[in-house]
Amino acid sequence: MSIEAFTRLFDEVFTKGHLDAADQLVAPEIIEHQCQLVGFCGWG
């Protein structure tokens, strides 16, 4: 991902809340590797 795409992703999606912009900036086959649910991914 280029720095321009990353900047746009952060600005549009995370700052402004325009979630539809993520569809244009992130590949559909992306795999999320961060697990944030307690009880999953080997967490207590």
> Which pLDDT tens digit goes with each residue over 1-44?
688 888 998 999 999 999 898 888 888 887 766 666 666 665 44
Residue 34: domain span: 1-44
Measured in whole angstroms, how far is the alpha carbon of residue 42 from the centre of its chain? 22
pLDDT at residue 44, as a whole number: 46
pLDDT at residue 17, as a whole number: 93
pLDDT at residue 18, as a whole number: 92
Per-residue burial over 6-37, b = 16 or more CB atoms within 10 Å of its CB, e = otherwise: eeebeebbeeeeeeeeeeeeeeeeeeeeeeee
Give the predicted TM-score (pTM) of the model.
Answer: 0.54
| Structural domain total, the chain | 1
